[in-house]
Structure 1
């Protein structure tokens, strides 16, 4: 059984008000759990089946949940409609999209735009070529700060207490601390990983008019594509253009 979680977007502790119990139903969904029957929904939310059934029916009537062809609950379009109004994603994405499209046209690779939400990165936009290398990231999905290009940029700029929160989840953080110091010095993160496919990413911060890092943009390329540093100049130019638009 999955342990109870208390962070943002997770199910609340037992005994919380009805609104939190309803939110726990929504938090039960995830990238690997997009459609849930009532039994699984109640289990993942940590609620009695009768309570889950009653609240799910209310959420379905409002449009926050829908039913698929098998009668399972799925996230409803009403939530997408409301989420699209979030200023940290919609406003930033609106400014950034033309420049991201230019970067995608030049590189023909994955182009990512992410913001930090607590101790995780949240993907705001992803543009992908049809034959680009496989990656697991999706728009609206969360990514670790410690082992993604955009995550390293956001973690390097985060408050010390956020960094310590991330470090506490890891083992030896000596190499990561050096890497973050280098990101702050150079203003760029280069990261490589092997799964689900061997890729490299080049990420650069997006700043507001005060110089504060508000997002990160990156290109993700196959490891076989050669030195990822070859993409540095065009990614920097894109991040600078977005920063000017945000400012």
Structure 2
């Protein structure tokens, strides 16, 4: 029920407050939080006090606030992402033993790539993906394989909302639909230097029962990685294992 002059509800404002922690900042002042959440400062102080009391936010000695431990606890009790992560971890370990760089699992969420797990080895190459962080679809192998193995209406809706992905001069985005078709045909996406100049991203879909991607499994390795030829089969084997564990192996 709306109970503010702007017409938004308490729940609307609570969601915006939590959404203000977008990965670029792990803590915020209440003034910054109010600006990011688009709520009046007095309202932000009241909401923060209530959320700190319930453990959804925590406040440090300097008055900065951050997501609280209870929020993490509730999110990790039961969710599709938790089930997927638990099913994937043993297979991700197998892939990581081959690449010894970065192995990561992601889903498509709100037209972005949402990373739900990442394994990394000491001394591995730079990797901008972070657990619970988001990345652009059309510049990542994870995103492109998720989109390539999505139903046609999902692809078209994405392209209609993001004409920049089609119009971009970036070679990856040129003739976008054909590029998606090629990824679907070969079964994986591999990009050199799309996010970081000295790395290669490789990803395969974790398929659901109807042959659409329910997740993407990928690696980030150095450019010119000598074991490249062994990576794709390892990823595909692991992706099939995750699908079987989830009970969604396609026919």
Normalising to structure 1: TM-score of the pair? 0.88
- CA separation of 1:17/1:176 partners in 2, compared to 1, >3 Å: closer, same or farther? same
Listed one character per residue, the Cα deviations across residues 88-128 of structure 1 (whole Å, up to 9, x for unaligned) are: 21111111101101111121010011111231121111000
Secondary structure of the residue that 1:225 maps to in structure 2? coil
Query: Within 2, Cα distance between the matches of 1:182 and 1:44?
Result: 40
Query: Within 2, Cα distance between the matches of 1:95 and 1:81?
Result: 19
Specify the alignment match of 1:146 in structure 2: 138
Query: Within 2, Cα distance between the matches of 1:135 and 1:49?
Result: 36
- CA separation of 1:195/1:183 partners in 2, compared to 1, >3 Å: closer, same or farther? closer
Specify the alignment match of 1:81 in structure 2: 73
Q: Which moved more, 1:154-163 or 1:215-224?
A: 154-163
Specify the alignment match of 2:199 in structure 1: 199
Equivalenced residues, count: 235
Query: Within 2, Cα distance between the matches of 1:165 and 1:67?
Result: 40
- CA separation of 1:245/1:216 partners in 2, compared to 1, >3 Å: closer, same or farther? same
1:68 to 21, 36, 60: 60
Secondary structure of the residue that 1:31 maps to in structure 2? coil
Specify the alignment match of 1:26 in structure 2: 18
Give 5+ residue unaligned stretches, structure 1.
1-12
- CA separation of 1:230/1:106 partners in 2, compared to 1, >3 Å: closer, same or farther? closer
Specify the alignment match of 1:221 in structure 2: 221
Query: Within 2, Cα distance between the matches of 1:179 and 1:204?
Result: 15
Specify the alignment match of 2:190 in structure 1: 190
1:126 to 118, 128, 142: 118
Specify the alignment match of 1:59 in structure 2: 51
Query: Within 2, Cα distance between the matches of 1:210 and 1:161?
Result: 15
Secondary structure of the residue that 1:139 maps to in structure 2? coil
Specify the alignment match of 2:236 in structure 1: 236
Query: Within 2, Cα distance between the matches of 1:113 and 1:238?
Result: 11
Specify the alignment match of 1:4 in structure 2: none
Deviation at 1:86, TM superposition (A): 4.3
Query: Within 1, Cα distance between the matches of 2:14 and 2:87?
Result: 34
Specify the alignment match of 1:94 in structure 2: 86
